[in-house]
Structure formats: structure tokens, C-alpha cells
Chain A
Amino acid sequence: MNRAVPAPRSLSETLKFDARELNSRRTFFQLSDDDLARLKGLRPFAERHMDDVVEDFYRLILSHPEARRFFPDDETIRRVKRLQRDYFLQLFDGVCDLAYVENRLRVGAAHERIGMAPRWYIGAYRHYLAILLDRITADVPDPAEARASYQSMLRLVGFDMSLAIDAYIAANLDTLGRHQAAIRELSTPVIKVHDHILLLPLVGAIDSERAQQIMEAVLLRVIGEKARAIIIDIAGVPVVDTRVADHLLKTTAAVRLVGGKVILTGISAQVARTIVQLGVDISTMYTVAELSEGIELALGLVGKQISTGAT
């Protein structure tokens, strides 16, 4: 097959960061073309100070024991210093377009990946700005010009930080989403007990959303396994109220429509009392107290039975 592998989605795409958003955010950070032009004019200044700014920057970070653990060896330090020099020079490129945004988002994502919490990132940035302020006041004789230059830097740095935080949040949401998917899957563990017989042990509270997932998972498995019966054990469900009973009835009705039968087991005395007192009619369901009885009933439905072997 000659199918092209789709390019990995860029972070700006994932975050829906388009030209409109770029424009809006630049406006909010008051980052104008004048600022970018001013920064570009400072490029010689940046090149002159690149090495000592970066050295100074890492001196602080590495002096903090907790921050230091992100940089385990000299090789890592050499590498991040090199990256930092590139990063520093990019502040003075005078360009702030979507490619720049993507680059900054990646920086944020990279920090998130190594487990560096935003507090370290923000704290380090504070230090970065302090160093730049020292250098700019020393280098630019006119105080008004020095101030304007520093303001422009603040705007772009603020803009950068907002992107990094966006990337942090996006990465966390992504992790959260994956965990939720895992929990969803774990919440409906449909097990094959025997040919054409499935078992779903339900544990924990059942709300409407979970009930929906249960119904879908059960139907797909019943059809997929050609199951005649599915045993739903509710011994692990803490509260069975009208709503839960209704969900179970709906699942039973849907399973019947695809040609299967639901057997409800694990009904405690308390649950039996509640169901009757609530006036819920569950006469359409096969119900038994114990899971073992449910399995026997299910086997009966497929024409099999458990026999006691000769001892």
C-alpha cells in the first residue's frame, strides 16, 4: 500500500492556535511590530552578551539543589546551554509568527516532559529578566531607550511564558484524558465465562454516563461473542436506587433486542428491599441472589449444566 503516513499534528494545531489567536494574544500582551523591530535592533547586544547571560542564568539554577536535579550531568548542562543560546537569540530575531509560536509551545512541552513544574520555569525566567535588565542598563546609555528596550523584552517574554503554560496545561489535559479512557475501560470489564456466556461484575457507583457506557460495552460484547446470556453482578454496587434500577432495565431491554438475556446477580437483602419499596418492576429480568446460581442459570439457557464428578 502506498498510503502516506500523516504528519504528526503540530502543537499549535492541537491547541487551535491560529492567526486569529496569534493576533489576539499579541494585542493582549501589547506586543507590537515596533517592539519586534526594537528587539531586532538589539541583536548585536544580544550576540555580545549571549554567552555570559546564559552562564549567569545557569549559575543560579544550578545553585538551587532542587532545580539542579533536572540537570543530572555535564553533558545535559552543555546541551541545555546550547539550546538556551539559540532561545536567547530568537528573542532578538524580530519575528513573532505562527512558526515562532510552535517553537515556544515545544519549549513548554519539553519542560513538561522532563517533569519540570511551571514554578521552576517561571522562577528561572524571572532570573533571566533580571540579568537582561542589568546588561541593558549597563549597555544602553540613554535611560529612556534602555527602559523601552526592556519593556519590549518583557512583552515578548510574557507572550512566551503564556505559550509555555498553554503547552503545560495541554499536556496535562492529554494525560488526564488518557487516564479517563483507561478508567472507562476498567469500569466495564466484560468477561467471557463460557461459550455464549458473559459476565460483567459491576463495582462502584453507577451514574448516567457510566450506565450509558455499560450499555454500549455490553451490547457490543454480546454481539461480538454471540452471547446468549450476560450475567451482571451488582454485589459491588453500593447504592441501587430507582435510577440505577432503570439503567439496568434499559440494558436488559437493549440486550434482549440484540437476542441476548441479562441475568442479574449479587442482589443483597437490602437491595431487594429497596427495589420493592421503590416500586420498580424488574420482573422482565432474570434475578438470583448468588453469582454461582447466575452461572448455572446461564448454562441452562445454552443447554448445559454443571454436574458433580465421581469422587
Chain B
Amino acid sequence: MSQRGNIPILRVGSNLLTTIHIDLHDTIAEAFQEDVLVAIKNTGAKGLVIDITGLEEVDTYVARILADTGRMAALMGAHTILVGMRAEVAATLVRMGFAMDTVETALDVDDGLAMLQARKALGRK
């Protein structure tokens, strides 16, 4: 897949998997969103797992980028699951009143992919 940014997006079955390991700011964030959407369009993926195990800090800006990416993916027919958030990150986001209610979450990549499989089995979009 040709990409603008440097965050790899991999195809796993009928879903996409991306692992964020660098700070999502400015042009990186924009390129990332575009790459995700192009990948969904090209592959016809019905699900997207965003793994943020590697992020030690997530501020509200990055949290918003992630939530927005999920909403954009939904518009293109892919369900997003955010996985691997660290305990400190979760505690901080909640304390700041940013619970990311619109995004579904899972413990890790395995769980996230399993959840997408289960959705597919249920015949949901």
C-alpha cells in the first residue's frame, strides 16, 4: 500500500491493523488519517484496529485525532477499535473529562481483532 505518512497500516484478513509508535502531531496526524481512509477504500476493510501500546502519553489533542479517525472510518464503513491504552493514559484522559465515548476499545490487538470477527459473524456493518 502506498502511504504518505510513516505509520504502517497492515491488512489482516478483512480488517486493518495499525500500530502507532510516534507522537501524532501536526502533519503526521493528517497523513495518518488520510492513509487510513485510503487504505479502507482500497481494501474494502470492514474493521480497523488502532494499537497504541507504544504511546506513553496521549494528550487531548491526540485523543481527539484518534476519535476523529474512528468516526471518519465509520463513515467509510469500517468499525474502529482502539487497543492497548496504558493505565496512566486512561486515568489521565478520564481525569481531564475526555473519556472518548465514541470509540470502542479492547485490551490488546488479539481481543480487538476477535471483536471485529464477532461483529462480522453477527452480520453487522
Q: Does A220 reach chain B (CB closer than 8 Å)?
A: yes
In Å, the complex CA distance between A296 and B95 comes to: 31
Some 25 contacts from A to B, beta carbons below 8 A apart, are A216-B91, A219-B87, A219-B91, A220-B87, A222-B87, A223-B87, A228-B107, A253-B101, A254-B90, A254-B94, A255-B90, A256-B99, A257-B82, A257-B89, A257-B90, A257-B99, A257-B100, A258-B85, A258-B87, A258-B105, A259-B105, A259-B106, A259-B107, A259-B108, A260-B107
Known interface pairs A223-B87, A257-B105, A259-B111; 19 further A-B residue pairs with C-beta atoms within 8 A, sorted by A's residue number: A216-B87, A219-B87, A222-B107, A223-B86, A226-B107, A228-B107, A228-B111, A253-B99, A253-B101, A254-B91, A254-B94, A254-B99, A256-B99, A256-B105, A258-B85, A259-B105, A259-B107, A259-B108, A260-B107
Q: Does B83 reach chain A (CB closer than 8 Å)?
A: yes
- Nearest-Cβ distance from residue B73 to partner chain A, whole angstroms: 18
Contacts of A253 in B (CB 8 A): 94, 99, 101
Interface string of B18-41 (1 = CB under 8 A from A): 000000000000000000000000
Contacts of A78 in B (CB 8 A): none
Count residues on chain B whose CB falls below 8 Å from chain A CBs.
Answer: 21
- Nearest-Cβ distance from residue B105 to partner chain A, whole angstroms: 5
Which 10 A-B pairs rank lowest in CB-CB distance, beginning with the nearest?
A219-B87, A259-B107, A253-B99, A257-B90, A259-B106, A254-B90, A254-B94, A259-B105, A253-B94, A250-B94
In Å, the complex CA distance between A227 and B107 comes to: 8
Q: Are A215 and B105 in contact (CB under 8 A)?
A: no
Interface string of B74-102 (1 = CB under 8 A from A): 00000000111111011101110001110
Contacts of B82 in A (CB 8 A): 257
Binding site for A on B (CB under 8 A): 82-87, 89-91, 93-95, 99-101, 105-108, 111-112
Of B84, B94, B95, B108, most A-chain CB atoms within 10 Å:
B94
> Chain B: which residue is nearest A220 at the CB level?
B87
In Å, the complex CA distance between A107 and B39 comes to: 73
Of A228, A253, A257, A258, most B-chain CB atoms within 10 Å:
A257
Count residues on chain A whose CB falls below 8 Å from chain B CBs.
Answer: 18
Q: Which of B90, B101, B105, B111 contacts A219 (CB 8 A)?
A: B90
- Nearest-Cβ distance from residue A236 to partner chain B, whole angstroms: 24
Q: Are A226 and B108 in contact (CB under 8 A)?
A: yes
Q: Which of A216, A220, A223, A254 contacts B107 (CB 8 A)?
A: A223
> Chain B: which residue is nearest A196 at the CB level?
B107
Interface string of A217-257 (1 = CB under 8 A from B): 00110110011100000000000000000000010011111
- Nearest-Cβ distance from residue A26 to partner chain B, whole angstroms: 46
Of A219, A228, A250, A260, most B-chain CB atoms within 10 Å:
A219
Contacts of B89 in A (CB 8 A): 257
